[in-house]
């Protein structure tokens, strides 16, 4: 009788163990499936953002091609979108990164609505001015409209504040300069005349960031994919960043305009072609832009 009772207890114990094993296996399979589903969803959402940006770029292309004279505002906005597309292609596929690019897309969408409406208005005005004003007054009116538009655009960009507790950069621009012996700087688009690359941006106000000494990493990449300037490395976790220089400044809980200079690789002449300018807050890309030296 005791042997029968022991045998029955062993069978019950084995049955319970088997049930627990199957339950754990079922849970593990479901957890793995959920993880794959989340990653697939993030990848699909990233592609949707990429599609939206490409559609926005096509709208700018159509508007630019409609004008016999290029609208500089439209061209610069188109370049910013291309920079964001290039950045999105190499970005990590996670919730934080995707949220950041969606926020930038919303900001660019508002800018595009304004610029395209302004462009339509400019076409009507130019048509009227061509028949009613002489060429001198036409050029003056176009310059006034462009200046007002640029002022509105810069004001809007300066008010963009990130919700995360990190500093961000807006209005990023890079361009070549000629440096006179007197210290005077003259912008140039000629590679052969460029002495240095000047990088300017605005550190946006963020109430979540504590005031004090702060720094951002500036990266300038030439047409041959070389990192100009110091070309030193810094590691953040599993990510290594090659940077041209570290921009250090005192942050006082207010928007701050920053300009830095980057020299050519090993003091050689600058290459002709497309240059990419990136600004990083540690490992996070917070601004990107590009320019051409002829």
CATH architecture classification, 169-293: Sandwich (2.60)
SS3 138: helix
Give the per-residue pLDDT at 246: 94
What pLDDT is attached to residue 48?
78
Q: Any idea where the domains of the chain sit in the sequence?
A: 45-158, 169-293
Question: Tokens standing for 2?
Answer: 């005791």
User: Using H for helix, E for strand and C for coil, what is the string for 21-64?
Assistant: HHHHHHHHHHHHHHHHHHHHHHHHHHHHHHHHHHHHHHHHHHHH
Question: Computed from CA positions of residues 71, 73, 75, 78, in that sequence, does the dihedral angle turn out positive or negative?
Answer: negative
Write b or e for each residue in 160-174: b if 16 or more Cβ atoms lie within 10 A of its Cβ, otherwise e.
Answer: bebebeebbbbbbeb
CB 218 within 8 A of CB 245: yes
Q: For the sheet with 284-293, list strands across it.
A: 245-251, 212-221, 273-281, 284-293
The overall pTM is greater than 0.75:
no
**If you search the block for the tokens 């106000």, which residue do you land on?**
205
Which has the closest alpha carbon to 234: 226, 244, 224, 248? Answer: 244
Contact indicator for 240, 233 with CB cutoff of 8 Å: yes
pLDDT values of the chain reduced to their tens digit, one per residue, 294 residues: 555 556 666 667 666 766 665 555 554 544 444 456 666 666 777 777 778 778 878 887 877 777 655 578 878 878 887 887 887 777 766 656 666 776 777 777 787 777 777 777 766 666 655 565 556 666 666 676 766 665 566 554 444 444 457 888 899 999 999 988 888 899 999 999 999 999 999 998 888 888 899 999 999 999 999 999 889 999 998 899 999 999 999 999 899 999 999 988 766 789 999 999 999 998 899 999 999 999
pLDDT at 163: 46
Return the pLDDT at 31. Answer: 44
Strands 273-281 and 284-293: antiparallel
The per-residue pLDDT for range 41-65, each reduced to its tens digit, is 667 777 777 787 788 788 878 777 7
Summarised one tens digit per residue, pLDDT across range 149-181 is: 655 665 544 444 444 578 888 999 999 999 888
114-130 pLDDT, tens digit each:
777 777 776 666 665 55
């Amino acid at each position: 009788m005791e042997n029968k009772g022991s045998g029955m207890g062993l069978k019950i114990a084995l049955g319970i163990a088997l049930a627990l094993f199957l339950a754990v296996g079922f849970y593990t399979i479901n957890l793995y499936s959920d993880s794959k589903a989340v990653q697939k969803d993030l990848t699909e959402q990233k592609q949707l953002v990429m599609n939206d940006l490409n559609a926005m770029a096509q709208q700018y292309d159509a508007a630019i091609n409609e004008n016999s004279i290029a609208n500089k505002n439209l061209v610069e906005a188109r370049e910013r979108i291309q920079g964001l597309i290039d950045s999105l292609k190499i970005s990590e596929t996670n919730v934080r990164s995707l949220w950041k690019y969606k926020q930038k897309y919303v900001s660019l969408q508002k800018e595009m609505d304004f610029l395209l409406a302004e462009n339509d208005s400019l076409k009507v005005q130019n048509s009227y001015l061509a028949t009613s004003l002489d060429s001198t007054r036409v050029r003056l009116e176009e310059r006034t409209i462009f200046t007002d538009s640029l002022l509105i655009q810069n004001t809007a960009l300066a008010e963009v504040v990130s919700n995360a507790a990190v500093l961000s950069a807006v209005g990023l621009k890079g361009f070549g300069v000629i440096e006179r012996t007197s210290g005077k700087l003259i912008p140039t688009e000629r590679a052969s005349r460029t002495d240095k690359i000047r990088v300017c941006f605005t550190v946006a106000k963020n109430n979540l960031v504590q005031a004090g000494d702060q720094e951002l990493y500036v990266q300038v990449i030439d047409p041959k994919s070389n990192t100009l300037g110091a070309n030193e490395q810094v590691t953040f976790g599993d990510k290594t960043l090659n940077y041209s220089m570290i921009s250090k400044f005192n942050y006082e809980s207010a928007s701050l305009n920053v300009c830095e200079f980057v020299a050519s690789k090993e003091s050689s002449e600058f290459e002709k072609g497309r240059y990419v300018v990136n600004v990083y807050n540690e490992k996070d890309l917070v601004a990107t832009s590009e320019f051409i030296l002829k």
